Structure 1
Amino acid sequence: PPLFRRYQVNVLVDHSESKGAPVVYEDHPTYNNLIGRIEHIAQMGALVTDFNLIKPGALHRANGGYLILDARQLLLQPYAWDGLKRALRSREVRIESLSQVLSLVSTVSLEPEPIPLDVKVVLIGERLLYYLLYQLDPDFGELFKVEADFNEEIPRTPENNLLYARLIGTIARKEGLRPFDRGAVARVIEHSARMADDAEKLSIHLLSTADLLREADYWAGVAGNGVVTADDVQRAIDAQIHRADRLRELVQEEIKRGTILIDTTGERVGQVNGLSVIQLGNFAFGRPNRITARVRLGKGEVVDIEREVELGGPIHSKGVLILSGFLGARYAAERPLSLSASLVFEQSYSGVEGDSASLAELCALLSSLAEVPIRQSLAVTGSVNQHGEVQAIGGVNEKIEGFFDVCKTRGLTGEQGVIIPATNVQHLMLRQDVIEAVKAGQFHIYPVQTVDQGIELLTGIPAGERDEEGNFPEGSINQLVEARLIELAEKQRAFAAPRKEAGGEEEEIKEEEGGDERTE
């Protein structure tokens, strides 16, 4: 009865049946859900309250134990972050309404005594939030002193393979799925390595793994299998890709119809097939790009057309500038670099970022300088440094498969393939149809360590190395490039000399005319 409300006891938190320290996870960390609140009831058109309407928050329930919060959800709630920091700093929980904290109302209400707080708060979230909070909030490093950075990948060792198989069995039992046979487990482990983009690593992103297991179980049910097989897992993987690859299919269709120009046969000077990756959510696919280079007499400039029109990112521009350093150091260390070259991604109407095309751009540039054609049956990916060494890139599997799909549509000839950095071999986790084509000799993957190895594969002509006298072998790629640069330097000097002589003659004529006038 209302008359006896004042004699009731309002128990905020009861841990009488708990064992050990409380562990509380708050999935909706609003200010009131963390700090607590004072509720009101309506009586005679007015809002009234008493101590029975004081409600606890997550900090009360976790007092003496642990409170787990999602950092992103916490930061999205107004004043929740400030309220949490205030409670942790003062080591007490003071139940106040937001209107009272912000001085929006001056109504007299209850003011419960603050409760001493002894709690460990665990924030979980992505790395970027941690870095931003540590950099921008001076209180963060003081209040949250222990960080734990969990890796999403583990080494692919025999021991970890067995542990991963046990994980698959645990998820299957927990979710009530059909048993997975050995082939299905092996296929899931292979797909996990593909998600990690590394043949020697396994992804431990459990959400993606659990989704794959559920879908494989569904397809096993459709097929009427009592256990999940490797074919069911593969069907689930194919279905996931099919639901997300609409844009990839459009790109492949436009290449097949000839709208996007990509050659897979023949030879062309100053033209090479580069490879890029398009990321759409959690799905990525490779797309071939035609890269062309043109060379003329100039002042040693390599013009990146993508950068000039502000379509190239800073990393891509850096890669093009490295090409200039490589050319100058190898071919024009003791003479002026008298060329003007232009590089461009043909039919590119959006931003280009990354340096993974710098090897292809350099090969196109060397082809244009040496006037030697490049095999269009090959595609190239990889970055280079100023010493001509080929460096690893990302998305190597998607890039290989993107060019393979184009070649497969037009018919595999046994001459097509992709040139990749040798350091990316450890990252190869290709589709089964690509692996079978490579085994049959219908498609090739060439790992290279230097630019010279790449240009030899593309042109079929030795790159050549300097002898004891500092000369490249006659007819080699490097000799042809050096000879062309020497020719351009001589032409530039020849163009400059007549202008100087003509200028001297004009000065003599003017002096003679001036002398005649003075004589008169």
Structure 2
Amino acid sequence: MDKYKIPISKLDYSYQESELDFSSTEELSPIDEKIVGQNRAAKSLSFGMRVEKKGYNIFMAGESGTGKSTYAENIAEERSAEMGKPQDILYVYNFYESEKTRVMKVEAGTGSELKTDLEKIVEELKEEIPRAFEGEEYDKERKEILNEYQPKSNKIMKEFEASAKERGFMLQNTSQGLVPVPIDENGEPLSREDFQEMDDEKREKIRERSQEIQNEISQVMREIRSIKEEAQEELSALEKKIGLSVVQPIICHLEEKYSESEVIIDYLEEVQEDIVDHIDRFRNENDESQSRSFLPMQRDEDGDFFNRYKINVFVNNSKTEGAPVVYEKNPTYYNLFGKIEGGSQFGTITTNFTMIKSGSLHRANGGFLIVHAKDLLRNPFCWDTLKRALINQEITVENIGEQYRSVPIITLKPEAVELDLKVIMIGTPYIYYLLYNFDEEFSELFKIKADFDTVMERSKENIEKFADFISSVINRYEIREFTAGAIAAMIDFSSRLTGDRQKLSTKFNEIIEIIFEADVWTEQAGEERVKAEYVRKAIEEKEMRANLLEEKVQEQIDRDHLLLDVSGEEIGQINGLSVHQAGNYTFGRPARITARTYLGKEGVINIEREAKMSGRIHSKGVMILTGYLGGKYAQDYPLSLTASVAFEQSYGGVDGDSATCAEVVALLSSLSGIGVRQDIAITGSMNQKGVVQPIGGVNEKIEGFFKVCESKGLTGQQGVIIPKRNLDNLMLGDDIIEAVKDDIFQLYVVEDIDEVLEIMLGKAAETIHTAVQEKLQHYAELEADNYGAESEAEEEENEAKKANEEDDEDKKN
């Protein structure tokens, strides 16, 4: 069996301090690279950042803690510095369709300035315009207009009154308007009695004249109204002329300031025209504001009116350096796509274009938006709205669910903003493939995939980068410097995280945790630099905080509540090895596996499967075991066997195929009657041809069995069998390495099941196979004899039945 033992030289994976060419991290420079060990992802991102075509958004796929978020920000900032600053986005009042708010783009930083300037001139005009209408020039011109048109009206009315009087009527104002009233010889209104005393002819004549004059009144009033309208038009023209004389110089001054922006000039022209058209609003502002002060509950309608001259600086890029980079950590609908706010006023909700608020998508326009896929998909409407925006390359601000209402509650319809940005989405590979397979638009929108690996080669180059990374963390967080020994311990810890001595972990969040904690333990010890012992202390203490379940399991083993033997031999019983997961902590423990065999045709019964406690992979392993038995022993006669396999005292379910070798050994032991060594545990998968395959968690499994043996007493014969292909995964603790070195604990590697049998059953594999074959042949013979007896009895029964039927027939005849 010594030929299967792992030599001590193959166990020590520790990185030697002497291999480092520095004594402490003080001699190192913080790493220049933004990411370590992710060359594939870095190339993908670099290419994706350069492609400025539709659909070339980026999905960064990888496990948590590999530095995706940090790298996304860094590379986006780096690329944005090479790009131009985008324009400010403004929402302004639409003077032609008030509900359709207009978008206006101006040079970055100009929006806030224009907003302030416009607010100032509106306040200035509120004072200057009323003052202009208080001057003598306005009064003089107004009087001239009135003096020109008033005599015309008076003359027409006087001439008409005289004409009516000649015909025996006077004009009288009533609630129904101007009406003709007949008069007597003295010019007084004719009384009803006098009118009734007249003969019919005179009364009829008066009625005819009255109707005639009434018809003339309408004509006269139209002439007077026309004169008044002409006067009013001239007065309005005068007011506009006076208003323009005040407004135009102020607007012109503003136009000079923004002369290089054609869009601002056009907008200011519209503002000027609208102010002149609504000059009365400015003339009456002071009087109305005073009257409103006595009516505090009155709605400020004029205040609402002057909102039209405000500017909503929707996106302000005045302080942006290069292209914007927005990392949205809470991608709710409103945070991403903006919203239209409303204000409560006397029980009603009102809104206007100044209440339109931007979202991350707007602020990132012209640059980069970074968002986590899981958070995005978790929020209703967000994914579909984002896709629509990227496909249409524009985004409209509308409140959530507004498009699904039969009657909209928000009447404001802001103009859509053109969208030109690159979305960097961060998520797990599972989410990526889920979207890729079930959302046909995803592959068209996210053409660049950047895969982040959790490991990198443990090469000299990467070890140097790893040390530089630790140095950069030390500088960034201002903690104690690490000695070369501490760096070597961190390298070992990183490899242990990967489960492969030839790899280093890229889960830098876990590495940073140990850096921080080692610094604390160093501080507590009063040391100036972090040494290897404090790194190991940090690792041990972190495990201690998480290993309560492991201690409880060990306590059950120590008290013989969980039955395990670590010495002697037993038929059909073996110590397998399993891994338990407790949050972020993983530990291994042995598990007793038993097998019972007997005559039958049911084959191998997986008790866990029958009890619905077996995972799919474990069930597959048992089926592979059945295939191995059939291929090995049932070539010349049928496999007449019923066997049951069980993980004893397993109450939480079993999964994985790493117990396949153990189950085969237990079965063959039961069939051959040869005892299995209980002082050796085994882990390993197996295919149908008996080849042992590598498994996961090899270090935890070995350490778990070693702790049990240590607790029950090391005999020097105990050990663990692992697949040979797992040799590079061995990164065991110093206590186990010392035990192997002192020959009080053994480790074996195997490549096929025959080697396992030789170690576990202590006999040559051929001897074991022969014993098993003899037992199976015996079962087959018994099965054949039993089948023959059953057939003979059945034949005799059939003959007797036939004879009885013939006797009955004779009796009838």
TM-score by length of 2: 0.61
Q: Is the 8 A contact 2:588 2:701 kept in 1?
A: yes
Among 751, 765, 770, the residue aligned to 1:479: 770
Partner of 2:546: 244
Partner of 1:106: 408
Shift of 1:385: 0.6
* Pairing of 1:298-313 with structure 2 (within 5 A): 298-299=600-601, 301-313=603-615
Among 101, 116, 135, the residue aligned to 2:418: 116
Partner of 1:169: 471
Shift of 1:17: 4.4
Partner of 1:258: 560
Partner of 1:185: 487
Partner amino acid for 2:793? Answer: A
Shift of 1:100: 2.8
Shift of 1:484: 1.2
Partner of 1:220: 522
1:143 and 2:434 matched: no
1:86 and 2:388 matched: yes
* Pairing of 1:460-475 with structure 2 (within 5 A): 460-464=762-766
Partner amino acid for 1:495? Answer: N
Query: Secondary structure in 1 aligned to 2:788?
Result: helix
Partner amino acid for 1:479? Answer: T
User: C-alpha separation between the residues in 2 aligned to 1:517 and 1:130?
Assistant: 79
User: C-alpha separation between the residues in 1 aligned to 2:642 and 2:408?
Assistant: 75
Partner amino acid for 2:676? Answer: I
User: C-alpha separation between the residues in 2 aligned to 1:104 and 1:405?
Assistant: 69
1:382 and 2:684 matched: yes
Query: Secondary structure in 2 aligned to 1:95?
Result: coil
Partner amino acid for 2:587? Answer: F
Partner amino acid for 2:599? Answer: L
Shift of 1:5: 4.3
Shift of 1:511: 5.4
Partner amino acid for 1:330? Answer: K
Query: Secondary structure in 2 aligned to 1:98?
Result: coil
Partner of 2:428: 126
Partner amino acid for 1:160? Answer: N
* Pairing of 1:263-302 with structure 2 (within 5 A): 263-299=565-601, 301-302=603-604
Among 293, 297, 311, the residue aligned to 1:9: 311
More displaced, 357-366 or 130-139?
A: 130-139
User: C-alpha separation between the residues in 1 aligned to 2:400 and 2:518?
Assistant: 49
* CA-to-aligned-CA distance 1:338-381 (integer Å, 9 cap, x gap): 11111111111121111110100000011111110011000011
Shift of 1:284: 0.9
Q: Is the 8 A contact 1:286 1:401 kept in 2?
A: yes
User: C-alpha separation between the residues in 1 aligned to 2:366 and 2:636?
Assistant: 75
Query: Secondary structure in 2 aligned to 1:293?
Result: strand
Query: Secondary structure in 1 aligned to 2:594?
Result: strand
Among 468, 489, 492, the residue aligned to 2:780: 489
Partner of 2:320: 18
Query: Secondary structure in 2 aligned to 1:25?
Result: strand
Shift of 1:255: 0.5
User: C-alpha separation between the residues in 2 aligned to 1:433 and 1:103?
Assistant: 69
Q: What's the Cα RMSD here?
A: 1.9
Query: Secondary structure in 2 aligned to 1:192?
Result: helix
User: C-alpha separation between the residues in 2 aligned to 1:185 and 1:115?
Assistant: 52
Residues 489 and 99 (structure 1), Cα distance of their counterparts in 2 relative to 1, 3 Å cut: closer
Residues 503 and 82 (structure 1), Cα distance of their counterparts in 2 relative to 1, 3 Å cut: closer
Partner of 2:791: 500
Residues 35 and 300 (structure 1), Cα distance of their counterparts in 2 relative to 1, 3 Å cut: closer
Shift of 1:228: 0.8
User: C-alpha separation between the residues in 2 aligned to 1:409 and 1:444?
Assistant: 16
Partner of 2:135: none
Where is the helix percentage greater, Structure 1 or Structure 2? Answer: 2
User: C-alpha separation between the residues in 2 aligned to 1:50 and 1:352?
Assistant: 63
Shift of 1:498: 2.4
User: C-alpha separation between the residues in 1 aligned to 2:744 and 2:319?
Assistant: 70
More displaced, 428-437 or 371-380?
A: 428-437
Shift of 1:13: 2.1
Shift of 1:316: 0.9
Shift of 1:15: 2.7
Residues 504 and 76 (structure 1), Cα distance of their counterparts in 2 relative to 1, 3 Å cut: closer
User: C-alpha separation between the residues in 1 aligned to 2:449 and 2:475?
Assistant: 33
Partner of 1:470: none
Q: Is the 8 A contact 1:99 1:105 kept in 2?
A: no
Q: Is the 8 A contact 1:300 1:337 kept in 2?
A: no
Partner amino acid for 1:294? Answer: R
Partner amino acid for 1:287? Answer: R
Query: Secondary structure in 2 aligned to 1:173?
Result: helix
1:30 and 2:321 matched: no
Among 388, 391, 398, the residue aligned to 2:700: 398
Partner of 2:755: 453
1:363 and 2:680 matched: no
User: C-alpha separation between the residues in 2 aligned to 1:268 and 1:447?
Assistant: 22
Residues 144 and 512 (structure 1), Cα distance of their counterparts in 2 relative to 1, 3 Å cut: closer
* CA-to-aligned-CA distance 1:134-193 (integer Å, 9 cap, x gap): 222222122222111111110111211111111111111111111111111111111111
1:342 and 2:644 matched: yes
Query: Secondary structure in 2 aligned to 1:333?
Result: coil
Partner of 2:373: 71
User: C-alpha separation between the residues in 1 aligned to 2:342 and 2:810?
Assistant: 114
Partner amino acid for 1:137? Answer: D
More displaced, 134-143 or 410-419?
A: 134-143
Q: Is the 8 A contact 2:624 2:688 kept in 1?
A: yes
User: C-alpha separation between the residues in 1 aligned to 2:624 and 2:495?
Assistant: 33
Partner of 2:505: 203
More displaced, 140-149 or 343-352?
A: 140-149
TM-score by length of 1: 0.94
Partner amino acid for 2:600? Answer: G
Q: Is the 8 A contact 2:549 2:582 kept in 1?
A: no
Shift of 1:81: 1.5
More displaced, 351-360 or 101-110?
A: 101-110
Partner amino acid for 1:499? Answer: E
Query: Secondary structure in 1 aligned to 2:311?
Result: coil
Partner amino acid for 1:213? Answer: I
Partner of 2:357: 55
Partner amino acid for 1:12? Answer: F
User: C-alpha separation between the residues in 1 aligned to 2:364 and 2:409?
Assistant: 30
* CA-to-aligned-CA distance 1:300-340 (integer Å, 9 cap, x gap): 61111111111111211111111111111111211111111
Q: What is the percent sequence identity of the aligned residues?
A: 48
User: C-alpha separation between the residues in 2 aligned to 1:225 and 1:398?
Assistant: 32
Partner of 2:195: none
Among 440, 444, 447, the residue aligned to 2:742: 440
Partner amino acid for 2:425? Answer: L
Residues 9 and 484 (structure 1), Cα distance of their counterparts in 2 relative to 1, 3 Å cut: same
Aligned length: 509
Of structures 1 and 2, the one with the larger relative CO (CA 8 A, separation 6+) is 2
Structure 1 residue ranges without an equivalent (≥5): 465-475
User: C-alpha separation between the residues in 1 aligned to 2:409 and 2:565?
Assistant: 78
Shift of 1:447: 0.8
User: C-alpha separation between the residues in 2 aligned to 1:394 and 1:39?
Assistant: 55
Shift of 1:96: 1.1
Shift of 1:107: 3.7
Shift of 1:517: 6.5
